[in-house]
Amino acid sequence: MAYPKSHNPFADDDDEEDFKPKSRGFNDDPDDGLSEAERKQRYLQQEVMRTAQSAVDSSYRSLGLIYESEKMGVETAEELIRQGEVLKRTDKMLDNMDQDLKTSQKHINSIKSVWGGLVNYFKGKPETKPPPEQPKAYEANDKLHSAMSSSREHEDKYQASHPNLRKLDTGGFGAAASVDGGSSRQNGYPQNRVLREAHQTLDNNLDEMSDGLRRLKNLGLGLQSEIEDQDDSIDSLLNKVDKMDLKIHNTNQQIKNLK
């Protein structure tokens, strides 16, 4: 049997199957007994549910990022406070060194004096230095302290609310979700039970995100104030170090001249 050039030998009438690829969207399952309008409505319901689910998932991811940022901010604040404690101890150490240099200078002046030896002989017991004062605990900037306290109050809530620990029950999402009776909305939310729960969850997450961003802002302002205060402390330390270096140099010169 001769076939024309354009004929497909595998497409014989006896073996030909009436195969039509299914299109995506509301035309799926054309033999499901639904009219085209009903299929369109079901498709739109599915799209609404998927959009709601995507919005809720996105809000949880955003909350997780805010929680992680706030946790990092608190850890940064704690490290900054430890740095402030080191600066305060260094400042106290320089003050003690300055006091020791003053005492050394008195001794040098006494040795250089003609009558210094006799004065020291008849002076009696040497002066006893008072015990060094215990440095007070370092206190962070008020803004930073307040912001850290506010963030720590929500630490337990973060653990319970983190997206990796709290999972949204989405088993009802889909076109088959039940619809409550009544023609009016409840508190401005849709009638569909699952969709209404998604909207409520989204609103709650947005409220938590707003609170978290507010605390992040306060943490940022507190960190900025603390850094500015520590910058002033560092400048003061540098000035003290320069003066201390000059005093040590002068003291060494005087000791060399006594030889």
What sign has the CA pseudo-torsion 225, 231, 234, 236?
negative
Distance CA 217, CA 133 (A): 38
Give the pLDDT score at 111.
Answer: 75
Give the pLDDT score at 233.
Answer: 92
Average confidence (pLDDT) per 10 residues, the chain, 259 residues: 52 46 48 77 87 91 90 92 93 90 82 59 54 68 86 72 48 40 51 82 91 93 94 93 90 78
Tokens linked to 148: 């850290």
Whole-number Cα distances in Å, 128 to 107, 119, 125, 132, 206: 14, 17, 8, 12, 66
Give the pLDDT score at 115.
Answer: 53
Give the pLDDT score at 76.
Answer: 93
Give the pLDDT score at 165.
Answer: 46
- Cα-based angle 157, 158, 164 (whole degrees, multiple of 5): 125
Query: Other CB atoms closer than 10 Å to residue 65's CB: what's the count?
Result: 13
Give the pLDDT score at 15.
Answer: 47
Tokens linked to 190: 């849709």
DSSP string, 95-110: HHHHHHHHHHHHHHHH
Tokens linked to 57: 């998932």
| Nearest to 80, CA basis, from 218, 229, 214 | 229
> Helices in the chain by DSSP H: which ranges?
36-112, 116-122, 142-153, 155-161, 193-258
SS3 call for 128: coil
Give the pLDDT score at 256.
Answer: 80
In DSSP terms, 243 is beta-bridged to none
Tokens linked to 39: 């299929």
DSSP tag of 115: T
**Cβ 144 vs Cβ 77: under 8 Å:** yes
How many CA atoms within 13 Å lie on the side-chain side of 29?
9
What is the pTM assigned to this prediction? 0.63
Tokens linked to 96: 């003690």
Altogether, the residues listed in the chain come to a count of 259
